[in-house]
Each structure stands twice: as C-alpha cells, then as structure tokens.
A and B are shown apart, each in its own frame.
Chain A
Amino acid sequence: MKLPHAAIVAIAGTAVLALLPLVAPPYYASLMVPFFGYAIALLGFNLLFGYTGLLSFGHAMFLGFGAYGAAVVAGVFGIKSFEAVLVLVTLAAMAAALPIGFLCVRYVGIFFGMLTLAFGMLFHSFLFKFYHLTGGDSGMRVPRMNILGLEFAKYNKIEFLAEPFYYYCLALLVIAGLLMWRIVHSPFGLHLRAIRDNARKAEYLAVHVRRFRLAAFVISAGYGAIGGAILGFRVGLADPELVYWTQSGQLVFMAVLGGFANFFGPIVGALAFTLLQDQLQSLTQYWRFILGAILALIVVGFPGGIVGLAEGLRRRRARAA
C-alpha cells in the first residue's frame, strides 16, 4: 500500500519537473538548478538527520567540498567532464568524511552537532584564510563544463542551465532519489532507524551502532558533494560563504520546512525554500525576517513541515469521507 503511493508521488513530481522548462521562462528553469543541488544534498542530509537521528550543524562543509572540488578539478586540473568531476568530488568528500565522521559519531545530540559545526567552521576558516590556495573570500572560479561529453557551445549560460543542464540535474536527482530510496528501505536503512529510535537496544541486538552511523555520515557527505558541485557550476564560483555555519543552518531549515520525517520532505523543503527565497528577495530586502518568521512558525506550530501538514489534511479528509 505504501510503496505505490510513494511511486505515484515520485512519478508525478518528476513529470511536473520535466515539463517545467517547456512552459516556464528560462529564468525560472535556471532558478531550479540550485533546487536540484539542495535537494540532492538534503537527501543525504536526511539520511543522517531524519533516519539516523543525528543533527549535523556543519553539513555545508560537504557542499563546499563539491563546489571547491569542481573548481579544482575543472579549473586547476582542466578536466572539463562534469561526470568525472562528480565522481571525483564525491569520492573526495566521502574520503574526508571517513575520519571526520569517525570522530563525530562518537557523540550524539548536541555534542554531535557542535563537533560537526566545529569541523565546518575549521574548513571555512581554511578556505577564508589561505588566500593563495583557495582565493580567500573571493573564492575560486568554477569553469563551464561539458555534460555527457557534449559542449552545448551554442547555448549561452542561462539557456544552458535552463535546458540541457536542467534535465541533467533532474536525472541526477531521480537517480540519487532512487538510490536513497533503496538505501533507506534496505536492511541497512532499518538498522539506522533502529539506532535512531533506541541506540542502546539496537546495540543489544548486535548492531554495530557507531559503524552504521559512520556509514550514514559518509553517504550523506557524498550526496552533499554532488549538491555542492551543482551549486558551484550554476554560480560559476565556489566561495567560502557556501561553507559558513549559517548555510548549514539553512540546510536544516529546508529539511524541517519540508518535513524530515518523510522521504520526500527534504525535496519539498528545498523546492519551497528556493521559490520562497526568490520571491521574497524580489519583494523586499527584509526577506530574512520573513523566512525566520516562517521557520519559527513551523518549529512552534507545524513540526511535521509541509509534507506533515499535507498528510494531516489528507488523513482528515479520509476520515471525513
């Protein structure tokens, strides 16, 4: 019963996203590119937060790995294939996440959050201060890359982002989503949920708690790097702002906005946040205030987020019928 419903939602969502560039002006289609980046990163983030119960407040670090990784691989080494870049940054982020995660997963709750925050800020200050390596506060340029070996040289940047790259990112999101669905619904995912709900009991049942938490951390890092590479490609720049702690807070914001208890929640959150931020920014320079007020409202009144709200409505209607 549960799987068909999720499949319908996923297929309908993908279809709507696939049709969007045909009806929406190119600006909106290119606006969706960061949404894809955030959505992929949040899929990974939620494996850690929603499914394993570990709140990372330094997850923007992995966005940074992706964006700076793309800048180094494509800009410095001159490898212009985006697929190669994605593979390399994902591997690099996962390799870096292994020792960091090894140290972080010894703790849970607020201490895990603080440790990840500290690592994130460590990376940020490295990017910010080592000017000759990282460009300091002006960041590093991410050059335009080819996708699937095709240059798309006749498209300008906006057209490129709005059409070929849009579909490319949509495909990436679908693949990443399917993969995450498999992960979450595998025995491995069940282990993670058991750890979230009762770590001690899971340990009594011979689950190697730390090893599973570490695995979730490493996987989420890989997702974060893919998201970061997309973000960096879109802006054409990897800058330290992407790694600052407020960016990590924004990731948590998106997850909670969509509803972290649901598989699709983070994707919905990324979409809602991207559209909301764009609309508010064009309306008023005080958009942060409104976003903050919305966040406060969700935390206080609707902890299930948008998806939780929608499900509540659906259930009420079902009861009424």
Chain B
Amino acid sequence: MVAFANILVGGVFHAAVLFLVAAGLQLVFGVQKIVNLACGSFYALGAYFGITFIGYAAAAGMSPWLILPGLIVAGILLGFIGPPIERLLRSVYGRDESFQLLLTFALVLMFQDVFRFIWGSNPRSLDSTYLIYGTITSRDFSVPVYNLLVIAAAIATAVGLGALLQRTNYGRTLRATAENRAMAEALGVDVRRVYSVVFTLGAVLGTTAGALVVPTAAASLDMAIEFVIEAFAVVVIGGLGSMRGALAGALIVGLIRAYSLVLYPELEVLAIYIIVITVLLFRPAGLLGRPVV
C-alpha cells in the first residue's frame, strides 16, 4: 500500500512533465497542423538552460528557495526562440506532411549539436538543491515537496490553458484558426501572428517542462529524442490536437511507466507502444479526439 502511493506520486510527476510537453505538441498540431518533432529539443533546451540559469542565479546570491520560480522564469525566457523557428517552418505550411516532419527532424539534429557545443557531451545536473522544499514522510512513504509543486504547476498550466482556449476572445480566435484557417483569415484574423504566438506558446510549454524536471533528473543529449517519442505516445493515446487528450494520455503513460518499472521492468516501454498501437487501430482519433473522417 505504501509502495503503491510512492509509485503513484512518481507516475503523476512524470505525467505532469509529459503533459506540459504534449500540450505544446497538441497546440502546435491543433492550430498549425504540424507534428513538431523538435518539441523534445525544446524540452532538452529548457533543461540545460535551467541548469545554467540557476547556476548564475545562485552565484548572484539567489535564495535556494527561489529555485522553482527561477526555473519557470528560465523556461519562459526561452520563448524568444519560438518566432524565428516558426518563421523557418512557414516555408512548409500547406506542403506534404513528410516535408514538415523532415524539417522538424532537421531541427532535432541541429539542436542536439547545439547542446553538445554549449554544454558538452556529459550529462549535466543540479545537485539536490530541490530537497530544500523538504520531503513529506510518513513511515515508508516519502515524497519530495518539489515534485508535488511541479504537479501543482502542471495542473495550474492545464487550467490556465483551458481557460485561455475556452473563455477568452483570443482563445476563440485560436480555435477558429484551427478549425478553418481560410475562413478565420477572411474574418480578419491575423493568421501569421496567431501561428507565431501558438508556436512560441508551444515552445515555452516544452522549455518550462524541461527546466522544471532538471532538479530531479540530469540533462543529457539523448533526452530530446527520448522524450519526444514519449510525448508522441501521449498525444496519440489522447488524440491528436486535443488538450484533454494530452492530459489523459500523459496520466496513462506516466502511470504505466511507473508501475511497470516496479512490477515488470521489461514491459516498461513495450506496454506504452502496445497501447499506442491498440488506440490507433481501434480509435485512430485517440481516446478524446474527434473522429477522423
């Protein structure tokens, strides 16, 4: 029972991070119809930059208690890379999916070497400063408060995104553009600007997720290509383009990983892809997506 709770929190923590990256993927796919393989690279970028940022901030005398807000700021600061990359992607809008996939794949390759150039090939990590927030312990059960704070931040992001998309005028504009680009443009929506904003928002979700995860795990060169494939599993299970789907998918993948690691490690990744394939075969639109025609 105690182990159960430990695994549960671990799984939900993983799901929270996955959700942030997958939400970025969904946003970009929903509005721009592009599967952005580089979202894993944004995640890795956030992780590396988070380490550097916290290093400088600590040297400048930042209280270790500010590590969580500091990392969020680091993630958001990276938003500036969104517009130029979106500018590059503009050349493949409306072209064959293979070209869109390949262009983002090219970004993945380039980012990997940018990381190698700036941060070197060895994994980098923050030492366990995040434990400053303390640990909740009762008998065998123990969970770092930091992990709970990250889960809370992800929930807040989910609520915020939902409110933005459903309740605000700008959200209506985004949804209208996703629904019918030409019609939205005819009604006076500045689609170029919307695309730029959406892509940047998607990038920030990824970089923030990476920054938040870095106190608990090292940043490495492989994290981008490993994480994007997991985020991809999340959006396929949840349904391409669906925000609620990203949430459900992230929980499913996060919990399955956590439990299978304990129960039957061989199945860890295997189980996820079996679910992905099952979902694609029986409900290609995903659990919460709209049916594809």
Chain A residues near B (Cβ < 8 Å):
49, 55, 57, 103, 106-107, 109-111, 113-115, 117-119, 121-122, 125-126, 128-130, 244-246, 249, 252-253, 256, 285-289, 291-293, 295-296, 299-300, 303
Contact = CB atoms under 8 A, between A and B. Distances in A.
A256 B95 CA distance: 14
A203 to B, nearest CB: 16
Contact of B276 (A118, A287, A292, A303): A118
Interface size class of B (residues with CB under 8 A): 35 or more
Interface residues of A, dominant DSSP? helix
A245 B229 contact: yes
Of listed B35, B106, B270, B281, residue having the most chain A CB within 10 A: B106
Contacts of A252: 98, 101-102, 105
B35 to A, nearest CB: 6
A252 B99 CA distance: 10
A113 B270 contact: no
A19 to B, nearest CB: 34
A295 B105 contact: yes
Contacts of B35: 110
A256 B265 contact: no
Interface string B249-278: 000000000000000011111100110110
B110 A122 contact: no
A295 B109 contact: yes
A292 B106 CA distance: 4
Contact of B117 (A55, A103, A286, A303): A286
Contact of B105 (A111, A249, A287, A289): A249
A227 B273 CA distance: 26
A121 B229 contact: yes
Given A111-B280, A300-B92, A295 B102 contact: yes
A302 to B, nearest CB: 11
Interface of B: 35, 88, 91-92, 95, 97-99, 101-103, 105-110, 112-114, 116-117, 225, 229, 232-233, 236, 240, 265-270, 273-274, 276-277, 280-281, 284, 292
A31 B221 CA distance: 27
B157 to A, nearest CB: 25
Given A121-B273, A122-B273, A286 B99 contact: no
A114 B232 contact: yes
Of listed B109, B265, B273, B284, residue having the most chain A CB within 10 A: B109
Contacts of A125: 268-270, 273
5 contacts: A111-B284, A122-B274, A129-B268, A252-B98, A295-B102
A291 B110 CA distance: 8
A87 to B, nearest CB: 29
